[in-house]
Amino acid sequence: MSEAVRHALVTGASSGIGAAIVARLLDQGWQVTGVSRSAGGPAHPRYRPLALDLSDLDAIAPPIGEMRVDALVHAAGLLRVGRLGELPPEDGAAMWRLHVEAASRLADLLVPRMAAGGRVVLVGSRTAAGAAGRGAYAASKAALVGLARSWAAEQMPRGITVNVVAPAATETPMLTDPSRGAVSPKLPPLGRFIRPDEVAAAVAYFLSPEAAATTGQQLVVCGGSSL
């Protein structure tokens, strides 16, 4: 990366994990473009809000334009639950569109313009390994691992890394979303839910110079849930 102020585009920037990532990067001196459906965000001289509905795939390219960034962090997420035969098809399609297709559109636009030292971090989920009642959600998050490893192999000669941070249940509005129905979040063995700032710290590591040799990996921040 250049010695100039580094620029990151962060999706899902208005709340939860995305907001924590924005705060962390601003504290570290980054310039941040925060994507959310509303134009909210911190009042900070290095923060620029970008109102964009990522579920409208054709609406992504125009506001991105010729933007150049040093890092792309895709933290926008959506949870819809339902067992096999019960989840409305449109709910599964919405999760796939936001988690996978929006990530692909953004990467197609931004990664080819990144310089050596560029970074891509996708926020996945520990649930990518599978969980009852969350099959479509798990599938969309598992797809991010496949994308990251494929992109990592492709971008390695350019010095660009691609990784996934996969948290377990995290203290975000998603925990109390009424759409969860009877599928309640599972408390990790740690005895508490993961904090958004802990996920942000993992993302910040992947964006750091110290992580230049780490690519195509998934870091699971699970509080012991995977044990």
Q: Where are the domains of the chain?
A: 7-221
CA distance 226 to 222: 6
Q: What is the pLDDT, as a whole number, of residue 171? A: 87
Does 137 qualify as catalytic in the annotation?
yes
| Distance, CA of 186 to CA of 203 (rounded, Å) | 23
Question: Looking at the predicted structure, is the pLDDT value of residue 63 above 50?
Answer: yes
Catalytic residue among 30, 137, 151, 193: 137
Domain 7-221 has CATH 3.40.640.10: no
Query: Tell me, what's the pLDDT at 78?
Result: 94
31: which strand partners? 7
Report pLDDT for 176: 66
In this prediction the pTM is: 0.92
Task: Write down how long the chain is.
Answer: 227
Q: What is the pLDDT of residues 135-189, one digit of tens each?
A: 999 999 999 999 999 999 999 999 999 999 999 988 877 676 666 555 677 888 8
